[in-house]
Chain A
Amino acid sequence: MRTKAIAAIALIALAAGCSSSGGDKPGPGSSAPAAGGKLVIWGDDKRAAALKPFAERFGQENGVTVEVQAISKDQQTTFVTASQQGSGPDVMVGAHDWIGNLVQNGAVDPVQLTAAQQEGIAPNALKAVTFNGQVYGVPYATENLALIRNTKLAPDAPATVEDLVATGRKLRSQKKASEILCLQVGQNGDAYHLYPFFTSAGGYLFGRTAAGDYDPKDLGVGKPASIAAFEKIRKLGEKGDGALKRSITVENSIATFTAGKCAYLVSGPWAVTDVKKAKMAYDVSPVPGFAGGKPAQPFLGVQTFYVAAKGKNKALAQEFVTNYVTAPELAVALYEAEPRPPALTAAFDQVKGTDPDLAKFVDAGKNAVPLPAVPEMATIWDPFGKAESAVIGGADPKTALSAAAKTISSQIK
Chain B
Amino acid sequence: MKTALLERETAPAVAPRGPRRGGARGRLLTVLLLGPVAAIALWAAFPLLEQGHWIALGVLAAATAGLFYLYLSPRHVPAKYLVPGTLFLLIFQLFPVLYTASTAFTNFSDGHRGDKRDAVVAIQTASVTRVPGSAEYVLTVATTGDPATGPLSFLVTDPATGRVSAGTAGGLRTLPPGEVTVNPAGRVTAAAGYTVLTGGQAAARGREITGLVVPTAGGAIRSQGLTRAYEGRAGRAYDEGCDCIREAATGKTWTADDGRGAFIAADGERLAQGWRVGVGLANFTRLITDPAISGPFARTLIWNLIFALASTGGTFVLGLGCALALHSPRMRGRALYRTLLVLPYAMPSFAMLLVWRDMFNTDFGLINNLSGLGVDWFGGATSARIAVILVQLWLGYPYMFLVATGALQAIPAELSEASKLDGAGPWQSLRRVTLPLLLVALTPLLISSFAFNFNNFNAIYLTTDGAPFAADNPANGATDLLITYTYRLAFGGSGAQYGFAAAVSVFIFVIVAVISVVSFRRTRRQEEVYS
A residues whose Cβ falls under 8 Å from a Cβ of B: 3-4, 6-7, 10-11, 14-15, 18-19, 22, 27-31, 33, 35-37, 39, 61-64, 77, 80, 84, 100-101, 103-106, 109-112, 114-115, 132-134, 187-188, 245-249, 251-252, 256, 309, 312-316, 318-323, 375-376, 378-379, 382-383, 386-387, 389-391, 393, 395-396, 399-400, 402-404, 407, 410-413
Closest 10 CB pairs of A and B: A63-B200, A29-B47, A106-B122, A319-B225, A386-B474, A395-B471, A315-B206, A104-B272, A36-B200, A411-B493
Chain B residues within 8 Å of chain A by Cβ, number = 81
Q: Is the CB of B224 within 8 A of A413?
A: no
Once bound together, how far apart are the Cα atoms of A50 and B361, in whole Å? 37
Q: Is the CB of B207 within 8 A of A245?
A: no
B312 to A: closest C-beta gap in Å: 26
Which of B130, B198, B363 is close to A63, meaning CB atoms less than 8 Å apart? B198
B222 closest partner in A (C-beta): A112
**Given known A-B contacts A27-B47, A106-B114, A412-B494, A14 and B30 have beta carbons under 8 A apart:** no
Once bound together, how far apart are the Cα atoms of A252 and B207, in whole Å? 49
B469 closest partner in A (C-beta): A386
Beyond A112-B230, A132-B126, A413-B270, 4 additional contacts (C-beta under 8 Å) are: A188-B465, A319-B203, A376-B494, A382-B488
Q: Is the CB of A393 within 8 A of B272?
A: no
Interface string of B199-241 (1 = CB under 8 A from A): 1111110110110000000000001111110101000000000
Q: Is the CB of A3 within 8 A of B199?
A: no
Q: Is the CB of A407 within 8 A of B226?
A: no
Q: Is the CB of A103 within 8 A of B273?
A: yes
Once bound together, how far apart are the Cα atoms of A378 and B472, in whole Å? 20
B38 contacts A by Cβ under 8 Å: yes
Tell me the chain B residues, 83-134 only, with Cβ under 8 Å from chain A: 110-111, 113-114, 118-119, 121-122, 125-126, 128-130
Most B Cβ at <10 Å: residue of A28, A109, A247: A247
A402 to B: closest C-beta gap in Å: 8
B8 to A: closest C-beta gap in Å: 20
Q: Is the CB of B363 within 8 A of A315?
A: no
Pair count A-B, CB < 8 A: 241
**Given known A-B contacts A27-B46, A245-B363, A315 and B488 have beta carbons under 8 A apart:** no
Which of A84, A132, A315, A383 is close to B203, meaning CB atoms less than 8 Å apart? A315
B35 contacts A by Cβ under 8 Å: yes
Interface string of B401-439 (1 = CB under 8 A from A): 000000000000000000000000000000000000000
**Inter-chain contacts of A246 with B (CB < 8 A):** 362, 376, 379
Q: Is the CB of A403 within 8 A of B474?
A: yes
B292 closest partner in A (C-beta): A410
**Given known A-B contacts A61-B199, A77-B496, A389-B469, A114 and B126 have beta carbons under 8 A apart:** no
**Inter-chain contacts of B475 with A (CB < 8 A):** 383, 407
Which of B121, B125, B223, B495 is close to A315, meaning CB atoms less than 8 Å apart? B223
B31 contacts A by Cβ under 8 Å: yes
B44 to A: closest C-beta gap in Å: 9
Q: Is the CB of A112 within 8 A of B224?
A: yes
Tell me the chain B residues, 466-487 only, with Cβ under 8 Å from chain A: 466-475
Q: Is the CB of A15 within 8 A of B228?
A: no
**Inter-chain contacts of B31 with A (CB < 8 A):** 7, 10-11, 14
Which of B18, B119, B472 is close to A106, meaning CB atoms less than 8 Å apart? B119
**Inter-chain contacts of B199 with A (CB < 8 A):** 36, 61-64
**Inter-chain contacts of B46 with A (CB < 8 A):** 27, 29-30
B123 closest partner in A (C-beta): A106
Once bound together, how far apart are the Cα atoms of A15 and B18, in whole Å? 26
Once bound together, how far apart are the Cα atoms of A36 and B148, in whole Å? 10
A256 closest partner in B (C-beta): B364
**Inter-chain contacts of A375 with B (CB < 8 A):** 110-111, 272, 494-495
**Given known A-B contacts A63-B198, A115-B136, A313-B203, A390 and B47 have beta carbons under 8 A apart:** no
B464 contacts A by Cβ under 8 Å: yes
**Given known A-B contacts A29-B47, A375-B494, A322 and B122 have beta carbons under 8 A apart:** no
Which of B72, B118, B464 is close to A7, meaning CB atoms less than 8 Å apart? B72
Interface string of B276-297 (1 = CB under 8 A from A): 0000000000000000100000
Once bound together, how far apart are the Cα atoms of A15 and B473, in whole Å? 61
Q: Is the CB of A37 within 8 A of B204?
A: yes
B149 contacts A by Cβ under 8 Å: no
A sample of 20 inter-chain contacts (CB < 8 A) reads: A6-B27, A7-B31, A15-B38, A18-B43, A19-B43, A62-B226, A64-B204, A84-B114, A101-B110, A104-B495, A105-B273, A252-B361, A318-B210, A320-B225, A322-B224, A396-B471, A407-B475, A410-B292, A412-B494, A413-B494
Once bound together, how far apart are the Cα atoms of A28 and B128, in whole Å? 32
Which of A33, A106, A112, A389 is close to B121, meaning CB atoms less than 8 Å apart? A106
Q: Is the CB of B72 within 8 A of A404?
A: no
Once bound together, how far apart are the Cα atoms of A320 and B466, in whole Å? 44
**Inter-chain contacts of A399 with B (CB < 8 A):** 471-472
**Given known A-B contacts A101-B110, A187-B464, A382 and B493 have beta carbons under 8 A apart:** yes
B488 to A: closest C-beta gap in Å: 7
**Inter-chain contacts of B119 with A (CB < 8 A):** 106
Once bound together, how far apart are the Cα atoms of A412 and B122, in whole Å? 22
B328 contacts A by Cβ under 8 Å: no
Once bound together, how far apart are the Cα atoms of A30 and B51, in whole Å? 10
**Given known A-B contacts A252-B358, A315-B206, A30 and B50 have beta carbons under 8 A apart:** yes
Q: Is the CB of B494 within 8 A of A379?
A: yes
**Given known A-B contacts A110-B125, A379-B493, A35 and B111 have beta carbons under 8 A apart:** no
